[in-house]
Every structure is written in C-alpha cells, then in structure tokens.
Amino acid sequence: MFDNLSDRISKTLKGLRGQGRLTEADIDKTVREIRRALLDADVAVPVVRQFASRVRERALGAEVSKALNPAQQVVKIVHAELVEILGGATGQLQFAKNPPTVIMLAGLQGAGKTTLAGKLAKHLKEEGHTPLLVASDLQRPNAVNQLQIVGERAGVKVFAPEPGNGVGDPVVVALDGVATAAREQYDVVIVDTAGRLGVDEEMMQQARDIRDAVEPHNILFVVDAMIGQDAARVAEAFRDGVGFTGVVLSKLDGDARGGAALSVTGITDRPILFASTGEALGDFERFHPDRMASRILDMGDVLTLIEQAEKRMDREEAEKVASKLAQGEEFNLNDFMSMLQQIKSMGSMKKMLGMMPNMRQYKQAIDQFDDSMITRIEAMVQSMTPFERANPKEINGSRRARIAKGSGTTVTEVNRLLDQFKQMQKMMGSVGRGMAGGGAMGAPG
Ligand code: GDP
C-alpha cells in the first residue's frame, strides 16, 4: 500500500533530519521532491498543487523557524496536510432515526462493489446491526449469485429476485428489498447496483432511478485504487451523475500507487469511509485519514493493528493458555497450535508487520516473509499424535520421519520446528513461573 510514495516521502523527510536550521532552499527542495513523488503516484494535479503550496507556506512560516527541531516540525506539517487531503476527520455512515438505514453502492464494474457489500455487511453485523443485502445488480450475469455466496460467507441474508423470472427490474428489486427489511426488522439495507466497464449514461440513469426510489441515507462510491489517474475523472462523473455521500477505496492491497486515495476526497469533497485490502471478507478497515497519513510517512498504524487483533483474537482461548502457564503447567505443542491459529486468524503476518512504525527499512525482509510458513508448521503439528503433542521430548528420529512424511515437509523442517519450540517452551516456562510466583504480573501486593 503506497509503497513507492511512502518510500520517497519518508526518505526525503529523513534527509532533513540532523539539520539545525532550514533555509528557504532546503524547504523548496523538500517540497519539490514530495511534489514529484505525489505526481508519480498518480495523485491528481490540482490536489498536488494545493498540497505543495500549503506545505511550503507553512514550512517557511514561524512554526518552523522558531522550532527547536525544524525538521521534525516540517514532518508534522507534511503529516497534517496529508491528513487534510485524505479528508481530515474520520468519516461516518449516517444512520436513520427510523430504521432501516439504506446504503446504496455505486461504481464501475469490477470496482469491488459486490465484494465490499459482503465486507460491509460483516462489519456492521460485528457492530451489532442486523443487515440485509439486496441484489440489484441484474446486469452482470453472475452478480446475484456472487452476492449470495458473499452473504453466506458473512452470515448475512441476501434478498434477490427469484431465479427464472427473466431479467428483473433493479428498481423493483431494490424497493422490495427495502420493504422486506422494514417488515422483517433488519436495521440496515445494503443495495448492490450494476456497474459498467466505463461511465455511460444508461448506467447513471439506472443508478439515479434506484436512488430516487429507495432514497438511501448513504451512497457509497466504490473505486478501485489501482485505476490510478482515472480515479479522479470517474469520481467526478459519479458525483455529477448520481451523487454520493462517501467513498470506499478497494484493492488498496495491490501495487496501487495510491493516487486515488489522495485525489478523490480533494476533488469531490466527500470522505473516504472504508478501505478494502484484499479478496477475503476480513480484508476491510475503517478509513482514518490521520492513521493513513502516518502509514504513508512510515510512522506506523499501531491503533489499527491493535483493533484488528482485538476483533479477531479468541480471548477465551488465549486466556486458557495463560492460566495454564500461571499454574505452572508446561507449555506444549497443543498450546503452540492454539497460538498459531490465533496469529493466523489475525490475517496476513506481512500486512501486520507493514503497520508497525519504521518498518520501511526492513521492507525486503518483510516481502520475503512467507505467510504459508504458518500453514506448514500447522501441518507438522497436525501430523503428530496427541501423545507427541503433549510430550514433545519423546519425539525421536523415527517419529520425526513419520511426521515429515505425513505433513509433506522434510525431517530438517521438523527438527527446526522442535528446536524452536524448545526455545519457546523455555521462555514460556519463565513467564509462567513469574506469574505463578506472584511476581510482577501476579497477585497485588
Ligand atoms: P463489482 O463488479 O464492482 O461488484 O466487483 P467485484 O466485487 O466482483 O470485484 C471484482 C474483482 O476484484 C473480484 O475478483 C474481487 O475478488 C476483486 N476484489 C474486490 N475487492 C478487492 C480488494 O480489496 N483487493 C483485491 N486484491 N481484490 C479485490
């Protein structure tokens, strides 16, 4: 996400450090480099122009010349201005006083609307809502089916036209969907609509017809971050053609240069509410301009990391292991397996590492990190008998060979796993003893 842009801006700003005073020439050079980096990342020209002139103006002003550490002050200004172009405060969905709240999705075909519908429904469900998905994309042959699959995965009901009724009317489906939600006490309705490969008048008319029929409280414009410079133009077309209340950036996980993220709000004056970062239902996050700016400047996004860990961790499972250790029981391979599953449920290790501060310098190592390693370890542990898992010390040579064969790995890998596990067991043992002995983490007093 924003890799190249982030590399260049953070490098430029790091170059300023260590300078006691900053001359006008230093500042001009910095602004010029950032400006070039933004343009290369496909950020729309008017947005770049305004950003550069604001950073320059502020950097030449008193807040920098009087600062104890002028370079740090410039970083602060760049951060603040990035937050501004990303929309300032975190945007919110509007919820209706009288449910159901209606959310309509709009965007080009392939933008990621249907996928997003499932992600959003899952997210709302986790927040305590009871969403209903409505399949009003009757253009794309497989769209209804795809929404049904996504809904099933998210555990959310899908309202769709009866199959075999010929090509239905998307406006009627949308209206029926909202009426069904009201009758059956769903409090949020998400209406998926059709897109085309390019902007065209017929599509806009259909979107307007659906809009006028269901009067949505939110219209979310879904835009593929990978379409680069085009994002600004498509956003303008949708703003003028249908209008929208908020933006969702999809495919931010790709090699996107990030221009869409940094242009759409500046051009349309609508906040980015969510970001989609992969094909799985969990690859979804609220969009926080300040946190995103920190990520771009390689300052990390620890808040999002913690939130995701909290949401996806199985607290009960974690506490079980902790209390076992506290009672002085030995950490065994079953506990290890349960830990691995927790890590896996948090999603990609690579993505998590990317959210830590100052990680850009380790980029190569992170890129080489292989998420499938966890799967291999899991396979090895699964190939062990319950006795072996509880008594790793008893795993001798012939058992190792059997485990390697059963898990499709090699004896070397099994050896490595057991060695690493031994180290870990030692570490866990001392944590456990500390807890059991009423040390720092034990009973008060
Ligand atoms: P729609 O035509 O707007 O409904 O788009 P879809 O939801 O069908 O998405 C089009 C393609 O993009 C599908 O293959 C999705 O799996 C994929 N996709 C959607 N969102 C993301 C994302 O955030 N990241 C990645 N890598 N792929 C995505």
Residue 251 lies in a domain: yes
Here the CATH number for the domain that contains residue 14 is: 1.20.120.140
Q: Report if residue 18 sits inside a domain.
A: yes
For residue 297, being part of any structural domain is answered with no
- Mark whether 135 and 245 lie in a shared domain: yes
Other CB atoms within 10 A of residue 140 CB: 16
Single-letter residue type at 132: L
Compute, in angstroms, the gap from residue 191 CA to the centroid of ligand 1: 16
Let me know whether 246 and 337 are in one domain.
no
Distance CA 262, CA 44 (A): 8
Are 106 and 193 in contact by the 8 Å Cβ rule? The answer is yes
Q: Tell me, yes or no, whether 187 and 77 share the same domain.
A: no
- Do 325 and 180 belong to one domain? no
Residue ending a domain, choose from 286, 321, 344: 286
Domain, as residue range, for 426: 312-436
**Phi/psi of residue 40, each to 5°?**
-65, -25
Contact 279, 266 (CB under 8 A): no
Helix, strand, coil share (%) of the chain residues, nearest 5: 60, 10, 30
CA 209–ligand 1 middle distance (angstroms):
25
- Determine the Cα–Cα distance for residues 36 and 129; give it in Å rounded to an integer: 44
The secondary structure element, H or E, covering residue 141 is: none
Is residue 326 in a domain?
yes
**Which of 431, 26, 50 is CA-nearest to residue 262?**
50
CA separation for the pair 71, 12 (Å, rounded) = 11
State whether 181 and 253 are in the same domain: yes
Q: How far apart are the first and last CA of the chain?
A: 47
* Domain final residue pick, 85, 111, 130: 85
Cα 308 to Cα 92, 273, 312, 314: the distances in Å are: 19, 17, 6, 12
- List binding-site positions: 107-114, 192-196, 250-253
Give me ligand 1 centre to Cα 224, in Å.
Answer: 8
Confidence (pTM): 0.74
The reply to whether 140 and 264 lie within a common domain is yes
Cα 287 to ligand 1 centroid, rounded to whole Å: 18
pLDDT at 98: 92
Say how many domains are in the chain: 3
CA of 112 to the centre of ligand 1 (A): 4
Atom of ligand 1 nearest to the CA of 277: 23
- Distance, CA 116 to ligand 1 centroid (Å)? 8
Pocket lined around ligand 1, Cβ cut-off 6 Å: 107, 109-115, 195, 250-251, 253-254, 276-279, 283
Sign, CA dihedral 190-122-85-37, equals negative
Instruction: Read off the amino acid at residue 105.
Output: L
Asked if 224 and 105 sit in the same domain, the reply is yes
* pLDDT of 429: 65
Question: Does residue 331 sit in the same domain as residue 270?
Answer: no
Six-digit token string for 72: 């740090």
Q: Are 126 and 78 within one domain?
A: no
The whole-number pLDDT of residue 444 equals 37
Please report whether residue 182 resides in a domain: yes
Residues 192, 105 share a domain: yes
Eight-class DSSP state of 405: H
Q: Which atom of ligand 1 is nearest to the CA of 278?
A: 24
CATH number at residue 372: 1.10.260.30
pLDDT in tens, the chain (445 residues): 677 888 888 888 888 876 778 888 989 999 999 999 999 888 889 999 999 999 999 998 877 777 777 888 888 899 999 999 999 999 999 999 999 999 999 999 999 999 999 999 999 999 999 999 999 988 887 889 999 999 999 999 999 987 665 568 999 999 999 999 999 999 999 999 988 878 788 889 999 999 999 999 999 999 998 887 888 899 999 999 999 999 999 998 876 677 877 889 988 999 999 999 898 898 999 999 998 888 888 777 666 666 666 666 666 776 777 777 667 777 788 888 877 777 776 666 666 666 666 666 666 666 666 677 778 888 999 999 989 998 888 999 999 999 999 999 999 999 988 988 887 777 766 655 555 444 433 333 3
Together in a domain, 243 and 322: no
Domain final residue pick, 61, 85, 109: 85
Which helix or strand (DSSP H or E) is residue 132 part of? strand 131-136
Atom of ligand 1 nearest to the CA of 105: 3
The CATH number of residue 122's host domain is 3.40.50.300
Residue ranges for the known binding site for GTP are 107-114, 192-196, 250-253
* 8 and 70 together in one domain: yes
Contacts of 296 (CB under 8 A, 6+ apart): 2, 5, 6, 9, 82, 258
Residue 244 lies inside a defined structural domain of this protein: yes
Nearest CA to ligand 1 atom 5: 112
- Give the position of tokens 């099994």: 414
Residue 370 lies inside a defined structural domain of this protein? yes
Q: What gap in Å lies between CA 326 and CA 321, rounded to an integer? A: 9
Reduced to 3 states (helix: H, G, I; strand: E, B; else coil), residue 145 is helix
Is the reported ipTM for this assembly greater than 0.95? yes
- Residue 257 resides in a domain: yes
In this structure, the residue with its CA closest to atom 10 of ligand 1 is: 110
Structure confidence at residue 63 (pLDDT): 78
- The tally of CA atoms less than 13 A away on the side-chain side of residue 56 is 17
